[in-house]
Amino acid sequence: MARPPAHRPLLRRAAVALLTAAALLAPATGASAAAGTLQQVTGFGSNPGNLTMYAYAPTGLPSGAPLVVALHGCVQTADDYYRHSGWPELADRYGFAVVFPQTGPANNALSCFSWFDAAEDARGVGEAASVVQMVAKAGALFGSDQRRVYVTGLSAGGGMAADLLADYPDVFAGGAVDSGLPAHCATTRSAASSCQNDDQRLSPAQWAEKVRRAYPGYAGPWPRVAIWQGGADTTVRPVNAAELRDQWTEVWGIGRTPAGTRSLPGGTTETTYTDAAGRPAVALYEVAGMGHGLAVAPGSGTDRCGATGAYFLDAICSGYHTVRFWGLDGGGPTVPAPPAPTGLTATPTGADAIALGWQPVTGAASYQVFRDGIRIASPTGTAYTDGGLSAGTGYGYAVAAVGADGTVGARSATVTATTPGGPAPCFTTDNYHQVAAGRATQSGGLVSALGSGQAMGLWNTSTVHTLRQTGPGYFVLADGQC
């Protein structure tokens, strides 16, 4: 296995206790040519984490394809990860887009994602929020299936991937943590080194609580998590893989008795833990003798990918097995999603409440209720009353069914209701979210106001308009008037 030159610093000797890589990446060897190219994407949102967005999509990628977010390690760039990790090859083979976020010295001297900083790795703030804004932008650009969004990362990127799975389980259907840390192991720089090197002596319940605190009140479904760890890693010790396993099996409530163990190439042992439906929810991949890095396997075979370099180690194509675990190869844990509920009604019951009702979906264990595109409730029945609303304000509602295995189905058609009283409501946001909220429609990438049909421009997050609701399901342009 490739190891870093002895004269270069390992993480534990760095001036700050951060995940780092000891060398810039070596030239790529064995990488397959990708059909598209890596492109920088601008204008993806307010970007509170000061990140740069790059994206790759295979030529001719259809709408409705999955989306993978791939986070580089320290002293790496998005281009390094693009050239070495194998994710572009897998995107070509299985048909999905990839977002490559990039941090840099302005955020961290070693270009590490800030997995240890509560101001950067929590829901709604910093780098974590920037990554989710990239997901929304990629959805607008590629028409990605928002039910099949995944995140993976190496080292510090792996730590951030784990944090994102905890912060945004409603965004990410699954993740892969490669040589990384449990979600929210550290909340300060001083605590980072201890997480990397030492057993934190927390119970599975205490690890799971770190996930649950990241998004209070969220009750599932939870993302499916793959954990990759080198047995000879002295930068992120193997105990982190055990802690990740304890954390996510406890979140799933499935215990730590393996459902199966098998040997894979490169001295790799795969151990799986299944959900109540018998599908893999957590998988641990231990690569014997491998040091700190991402496992790749250059070559032309189906189970090969990537290019070797510093911290890209020739062992096994971890991305290939992760894709299979997520079910992006057409197999794995992916199951048919419940159909969209029908018959949704929304009836104002006062100036501050709207009562919803819909027809039951066969096999649904619960439902998700969305107001203006944001999930607000998860009732088990077919009725819900949304309270605390503003008078004289229009709201758009949709409902999705959740299967017994946690699979979330398609959303219903959006129904709009307006609470009585007050002036005609106005809504100012970008065209992508106007469509998502049911106030506008898009066709061929162009957006029109619902009801009036007034032209609003391109379907993206950069074009912003104000719409005034003048009646049920009827909106007019009101830029500068509200």
Which domains can be identified in the chain, with CATH numbers?
Answer: 11-326 (3.40.50.1820), 336-422 (2.60.40.10), 423-482 (no CATH)
Q: Cα separations (Å) of 371 from 16, 221, 364, 423, 437?
A: 44, 19, 20, 20, 8
CA separation for the pair 349, 395 (Å, rounded): 13
Q: What is the pLDDT of residues 38-65, one digit of tens each?
A: 999 999 999 999 999 999 999 999 999 9
Strand partners, 430: 464
pLDDT reported for residue 298: 97
For residue 14, give the nearest of 118, 125, 155, 119 by alpha carbon.
155
pLDDT reported for residue 190: 85
Query: Phi and psi for 234 in degrees, rounded to 5?
Result: -105, 0
pLDDT reported for residue 405: 66
Q: Averaged in consecutive runs of 10 residues, what is the pLDDT profile of the chain (482 residues)?
A: 32 36 33 64 97 96 96 96 97 96 96 96 97 97 95 98 97 97 93 93 96 93 97 97 98 92 94 89 97 96 94 97 94 59 93 93 89 91 94 90 76 90 84 93 94 94 91 89 85
**Which residues touch 108 (CB under 8 Å, ≥6 apart)?**
18, 74, 114
Asked if 212 and 251 touch (Cβ cutoff 8 Å), the reply is yes
pLDDT reported for residue 95: 96
Is residue 155 flagged as an active site residue?
Answer: yes
Q: What is the pLDDT of residues 345-355, one digit of tens each?
A: 999 998 889 99
What angle (nearest 5°) sits at the alpha carbon of residue 374, between those of residues 373 and 380? 110
Report pTM. Answer: 0.67
Catalytic residue (one of 111, 114, 130, 155): 155
Q: Compute the Cα dihedral for 14, 15, 17, 20 and give only its sign.
A: negative
**Which residues touch 246 (CB under 8 Å, ≥6 apart)?**
203, 204, 207, 256
Q: Compute the Cα dihedral for 104, 107, 111, 114 and give only its sign.
A: negative
pLDDT reported for residue 351: 82
Element (H, E) at 286: strand 280-287
pLDDT reported for residue 482: 84
Q: Cα separations (Å) of 56 from 19, 85, 95, 198, 315?
A: 26, 13, 11, 37, 25
